[in-house]
Chains A and B, each alone.
Chain A
Amino acid sequence: MPPPAPQPNVRVVTLTIDGKDFSARADETVIELCRENKIPIPSLCYMDGLSIWGACRLCLVEVVGQGRLVAACSTRVAEGMNIRTNTERLQRYRRTIVELLFAERNHVCSVCVSNGHCELQWLAQKCGVDHVRVPYRQVRNEVDSSHEMFRLDHNRCILCTRCVRVCDEIEGAHTWDVMGRGSDCRVITDLARPWGESETCTGCGKCVQVCPTGALVKQGTSAGEMVKDQHFLPILARRRHAQ
């Protein structure tokens, strides 16, 4: 789902977030409004400039009067909404989600090329994850080093699908996809062929830059050296959607 182009005549709604009043364009999502107003909401799959995925569930917020939690990235603002972004329940859920991400694959921060530049590592600290309460799955995941410039380490992938979306929506190559279900789920290039043999990959590296962790990195980087540069995305996304 590509983000809709902004409409010229859009209504303005007023709503409450954490007890403060805000006004917003009716076509905005809750997370967009929060980001504009520097209200911190953790997220991993959401990325400004890419379509909405709603997979990581870290941006869950409470809407007063509504029993279920909603994802701030995929919920539009509405007149009179009363939103809470940082309750004890939300903190508990976010913490658990981050812990499950760490337990699912092998994120060994100390020996990761993205150490110190990783959104998952940063979020863990922000959410107060100082240890993981569930047992680690301890499953071996493959590393694909077949591409001459880039490397894919499934051990560090959290399946946010930013790579899939940026490749399809911004680069227009659609090299990436998702294969398998549940714990077998993984990102693939072409029809699950080695990345280096991909006929569609243009080698642009956008997937590497948007990847929040050390799953997609440049070849030749060692621990802590993989600094990502995401400046291209808002610029390209704006131009793409303006057409």
Chain B
Amino acid sequence: MTTPATPRITVATAWLDGCSGCHMSFLDMDERLVDLAQKIDIVYSPLVDTKELPEQVDVGILEGSISSESDLHHAKEFRKHCKLLISLGDCAVNGNVPAMRNPFKLADVIDRAYRENVDLQPQLPTVGVPVLFQQVRPIHGCVKVDVFVPGCPPHADAIFYVLNELIEGRTPDPSRVTRFGA
């Protein structure tokens, strides 16, 4: 086992109230992932097996919006332990589809999802699920975010551009490569 000449950039990712599409788009970087793996270490993510966020991480990437106590906890943990925090995708950046419930009362939304449209055993799930907030918020509605990468999902090229700029020590300008809804 050889030690890399320069220490690799550590990256943590998490998936809050989203569909995992942004993580799929991350994987869509395809063969570029091989090169990236020489420069970054994914230390915590749904893509790897680590169970705990390390004490100090260089780059944190959050997909999804903040819709529950669990999401908020994750976002705060990421902010605390990551030097740089990225909102990845429209749900993280602007609430997107999860936030479409905001104009409605939470109780009405839950009724609609778990009772009205259910044929068999309509019931509220209570075990192992976090309590939902009345309002869904983008990540920066709760914690400070450093880089915003909109898109639903952001294209793999956009994610690669942002990561590569950061690796090269530059400040990425995501509006050059992606947009809301992209």
Contact = CB atoms under 8 A, between A and B. Distances in A.
Interface stretch (B51-59, B74-82, B89-97, B124-132): B89-97
A121 B103 contact: no
A109 B90 CA distance: 9
Interface of chain B, helix or strand or loop or mixed? loop
B87 to A, nearest CB: 7
Given A109-B180, A136-B95, A131 B175 contact: no
A131 B102 contact: no
B133 to A, nearest CB: 12
Contacts of A139: 103
Main secondary structure of the interface of A (DSSP, over half): loop
B104 A121 contact: no
B14 interface: no
B39 interface: no
B96 A110 contact: yes
B181 A112 contact: yes
Interface string B95-107: 1110110111000
A108 B97 contact: yes
Interface residues of B, number: 29
A181 interface: no
A227 interface: no
A102 B135 contact: no
A102 B96 CA distance: 12
Contact of A129 (B102, B135, B173, B175): B175
Interface in B136-182: 138, 140-141, 145, 148-150, 152, 173-175, 178-182
Contacts of B100: 106, 108, 111
Contacts of A124: 179-180
Contacts of B141: 135
30 contacts: A102-B180, A106-B100, A106-B103, A108-B100, A108-B181, A109-B90, A109-B180, A110-B90, A110-B152, A110-B180, A111-B97, A112-B181, A115-B181, A121-B179, A121-B180, A121-B181, A124-B179, A124-B180, A125-B175, A130-B149, A131-B94, A131-B148, A131-B150, A132-B138, A136-B95, A138-B99, A138-B103, A138-B135, A140-B103, A140-B104
